[in-house]
Amino acid sequence: MLHVMPPEKPMTKDQHFVPRFYLRKFTDQRNLVEVLDLTFMKLANPTGVRGLCCEEFFYGIVTGVPDETSQRVEEWFKKREDLIGENLDSIVDKILNNEQIEPWDKWIIALLMSMLWIRGQEMRNQIHRIEKETTKWMIETEISIQPDRFFSEYELKNGVKFPPELRAKMQEMMVKKEFEINPNNSMHLKNLGIINDFAHRFYFQYWTIFISKVSEKFTTTDNPVAVKFPKAKGLYGRTFSERAHYFSLTPDIFIVATESHDSPEKPGIRLKRKTLFKGSEGKVLDLNAVMVNQAHQYIYAKSKNDLENLIAVHKRHAGIF
């Protein structure tokens, strides 16, 4: 009997760091998103969500290089996105219709916030910066204390021999940190495993859920969870729970998660709704401005009018974004 092998599953090349099911919340009747390019502070053509917030093999060990790791991460995210997507519409309806928000509802949104915060470009860039600074510091420290040992071990390991003049030049360069470190994505990918842990931290913050009933609506960005740090206190700075996190769930719903002074064991889910009626247009613009200030390059909106309002603010107050 002949056994036909199933066809090999094609690799997912374009990998989103902001999932499409979330971006679709900001599409219009044509299923298009309005786009503001911050580089030029100009509107781009409306577009579908397929090509937004993605890079080729973003979850590979090396960005852009196809590997099995990128595909496993893609499958891992798909399961979580399916869970969130299956519940999100009903939660949005509860918020807008002033119905009771259950602990499970808040957890689903907290999971979405954590996932967006940890998986994206900003977190990856932060991790790369730390890796670079730490590695440079370690090299600078070692070569300042024992330069001969540093070079001798390298030569022995790699089978090379540096002339004394080259050694001296390299030592000077390393002490001054005049060299580049290019880490791969291993550390960022490892940190994807703490998404659930930080979802709990988002969950236990106190949430103010703003609901826009005015013509101005909330926008989102290619970095959908913005963070504000309070003034540092002491040597170690502020904890996660003391930071303020800003997140546009839909064009009508915006969440500000701040420090909670309640015990995590205390009953209740610690949130309040605040509806913005006519006269509160400025508040919508203020919240959108927070998101713009931490975007990488693009702002997304359901209505072009909301992006034009941001452009107008930029023109009135040069350098605000």
Residue-range definition of the domain harbouring residue 320? 27-51+204-321
Whether residue 13 lies inside any domain: the answer is no
The mean pLDDT values, 10 residues at a time, for the chain of 321 residues are: 56 96 97 96 96 97 96 96 97 97 97 97 95 89 83 86 86 81 95 96 96 98 94 73 95 93 60 96 96 96 96 79 65
- Residue type for 291, please? M
d(CA 284, CA 248): 11
Whether residue 278 lies inside any domain: the answer is yes
Count of domains for the chain: 1
pLDDT score, position 271: 93
Whether residue 250 lies inside any domain: the answer is yes
Whether residue 321 lies inside any domain: the answer is yes
pLDDT score, position 296: 93
pLDDT score, position 207: 96
Whether residue 135 lies inside any domain: the answer is no
pTM comes to 0.88
Whether residue 57 lies inside any domain: the answer is no
pLDDT score, position 5: 44
Whether residue 161 lies inside any domain: the answer is no
d(CA 262, CA 273): 18
Whether residue 98 lies inside any domain: the answer is no
pLDDT score, position 4: 45
